[in-house]
A and B are shown apart, each in its own frame.
Chain A
Amino acid sequence: MIEKNVDVLVIGAGAAGLGAAIGAAREGVSEVVIVERDERSGGILNQCIHNGFGLHYFREELSGPEYAERVKKIVQQYPNINVKVEQYVHQIDYRRKEVVVASTEGITVYKPKSLVVATGARERPMGGILVPGTRPAGVFTAGVAQRFVNLENRLPGKRAIIVGSGDIGLIMARRLTLEGVEVVAVVERMPYPGGLERNIRQCLKDFNIPLYLSHTVVGIYGKERLEEVIIAQLDESYKPIPGTEKKFKVDTLVLSVGLIPQSTLFKDFLKIDPWTKGIVTSSSGRSSLNWIFAAGNCTVIYDLVDWVTEEGSVAGKFAAMYVRNNWEPAKFFVEKGQNVGILFPSWYEEGTNLNLYLRVKKPIAEGTIRIKQRNNLLYSKKHLNMLPSEMISIKIPESKIGSGDIIVEVLE
């Protein structure tokens, strides 16, 4: 067993973890170690070979691997960042501030002064949507299918149906089509698509892939391999309408029904949102324990990787400030007002900018987002075409913010 003291330890070398290491290194700590489970750094970006990343962070449209390479290049400029791959975090002893990591080198017990959690998200599995029928092979989550096709040179099947019209589902519909898989349908239970309009057009309409809104899977059948999927239309209370069933002969079902923050390692000692499973954090990225910070999809599911890297570097910066001088200012609640579904962060810490990310509870064609701290109006602006699927980012500089709890609401 090796024991190692380190200033900042980062768990996860994806967009958030790399960002955190950069943020911490810029702040000038002596050593930052990133431990990564996969055999390479870059996280999910490695398999997202499509375009559309980096417009905010690099002011240029990049594919996922290009974005990862750019961030890795910045990391390489800092000799005090040590990226270690094929490392498995086994246990965290929060009282002794120890992180136990297994790798081919054996067991290493890190004793970090500050920890940044950047563990990303998991895909919501099939069990999350109770479907009758058998349990044959051929049912994949979108991320697994994407890894097969884009990294391992394997196709999941020949004829596929996709469940969930979020961006990952839409992008996989196109990707599979390009590789010669026949995509017969994309099925969405909501009356509106989950993904961006741009992806509806460029991933579905471009290839004449039908989108069934207000539909769900009601049956999955097959002996060893998937043979048939039955879908049905849903009524307003999301119940299948008898007589609307449609059968598809497919050997593959790709499930894209959302992401869940990967926070189970921390659930015994950090505050976790019981509904989203995200690690609850403040505007500095600090969790409910003063020496542990968190950033990226383990806190809230973001729309843009650019925001993930940015919030990663915020968390890294303040983690480094905590290492240097136990930085821990006063904090105030950031509360959800009417029509706000998802809100990040949960607390505001004095001395930080407030980078707010929110999702509305329901589609709102025209509304005003209002942010108040006591009687002080921090922000009030009209927004058009707000959708739950589209995250809204609002930045309020530190100079405008005083003390007191903050409330965020969307007025119709």
Chain B
Amino acid sequence: MRVEEMVCIMCPLGCHLTVKEENGEIFVAGNKCPRGIEYGRQELTEPLRILTSSVLVERGDLPLVSVKTSKPVPRKLIMQIMEILKSTKIEAPVKVGDVIIKNILDTGADIIATRNVERIDVA
């Protein structure tokens, strides 16, 4: 049996949840609405997170472009994704929404740019 205390973050109410796993079944207590059950279940089995970070840019007006995953990815993959991002280098110009890496680590999420970086050409 596994029990975890957590605060639901689906809305500002912040219900204090007790999430229990017993014989493969998950029980959520303390929630005031069904979204709490969904949140508690997901957090206990496979927590998902949007990852935001940055990627090196060459010939840009900034040395970095900020990026994010296009949808939440399993938390356990975050450090692995960071390793990939650290070894990635792209060239300016970059536009918001540009896909930088498609389907990263087979998560179904893309790494997308979250800012514009203009190109500067130095002679």
Q: Smallest CB–CB gap between B84 and chain A, Å?
A: 12
A206 to B76, CA, bound (A): 9
Residues in chain B near residue A64, CB distance under 8 A: 66
Q: Which residues of A contact B63 (CB under 8 A)?
A: 152-153
Q: Which of A49-67 contact B (CB under 8 A)?
A: 49-51, 61-66
* Chain B contacts for A385, CB-based, 8 A: 13-14
Q: Is the CB of B9 within 8 A of A69?
A: no
On chain B, the residues within 8 Å of A152 by CB distance are 63
- A197 and chain B: residue at smallest CB distance: B7
Is B53 touching A178 in the complex (CB atoms < 8 A)?
Answer: yes
Q: In the complex, A202 Cα to B68 Cα: how many Å?
A: 15
Residues on A with C-beta less than 8 A from B12 are 390
Closest to A387 in B: B14
Chain B residues, CB < 8 A from A68: 115
| Chain A proximity mask over B36-47: 1 for CB below 8 Å, otherwise 0 | 000000000001
Give a binary string over A375-407; 1 marks a CB under 8 Å from any B CB, 0 the rest: 000000000110000100000000000000000
Which residues 169-217 in A have Cβ within 8 Å of B in the complex?
Answer: 178-179, 197-198, 200-202, 206
> Using Cβ atoms and an 8 Å threshold, which residues of chain B touch A50?
52
Q: Which residues of A are found within 8 Å of B14, using beta-carbon distances?
A: 197, 385
Indicate whether A339 reaches chain B with its CB closer than 8 angstroms.
no
- Contact assessment for B62 and A51 in the assembled complex, using a CB-CB cutoff below 8 Å: no
Count of B interface residues, CB-CB < 8 Å: 27
Check B18 for interface membership: any CB of A closer than 8 A. no
Query: In the bound complex, how far is the Cα of B12 from the Cα of A292, in angstroms?
Result: 35
| CA distance in complex: A384, B6 (Å) | 18
Q: Beyond A49-B53, A150-B64, A206-B49, is A63–B13 a contact (Cβ under 8 Å)?
A: no
Cβ–Cβ contact B115 & A178, under 8 A: no
CB-based contact B68/A51 at 8 Å: yes
A201–B54 touching, CB < 8 Å: no
A150 to B14, CA, bound (A): 30
B78 at the interface (CB under 8 A from A): yes
Whether A65 contacts B49 by the Cβ 8 Å rule is no
Contact residues, B65-123 vs A (CB, 8 A): 66, 68, 75, 78-79, 82, 96, 114-116
Please, which residues of chain A bring their CB within 8 A of the CB of B9?
A: 197-198, 201
Does A241 interact with chain B (Cβ within 8 Å)? no
Q: Which residue of A lies closest to B64 (CB)?
A: A153
Cα separation A73 to B75 with both chains bound (whole Å): 33
Contacts of A206 in B (CB 8 A): 47, 49, 75, 78
Taken together as a complex, chains A and B put the C-alpha atoms of A348 and B33 apart, in Å, by 38
**Interchain CB contact under 8 A, A63 and B68:** yes
Q: B68, A384: Cβ atoms under 8 Å?
A: no
Contacts of B64 in A (CB 8 A): 150-151, 153
The distance in angstroms between the C-alpha atoms of A68 and B114, with both chains bound, is 10
| Cβ contact within 8 Å between B56 and A150 | no
Extra contacts besides A200-B7, A206-B75, A385-B13 (14): CB < 8 Å? A46-B115, A49-B68, A51-B68, A62-B114, A64-B66, A69-B96, A153-B54, A178-B51, A178-B78, A197-B7, A197-B14, A198-B9, A206-B49, A384-B13
Q: A residues near B, CB below 8 A? A: 46, 49-51, 61-66, 68-69, 150-153, 178-179, 197-198, 200-202, 206, 384-385, 390
12 residue pairs of the A-B complex, CB under 8 angstroms, read A46-B115, A49-B52, A49-B54, A69-B115, A150-B64, A153-B54, A178-B53, A178-B78, A178-B79, A197-B14, A202-B49, A385-B13
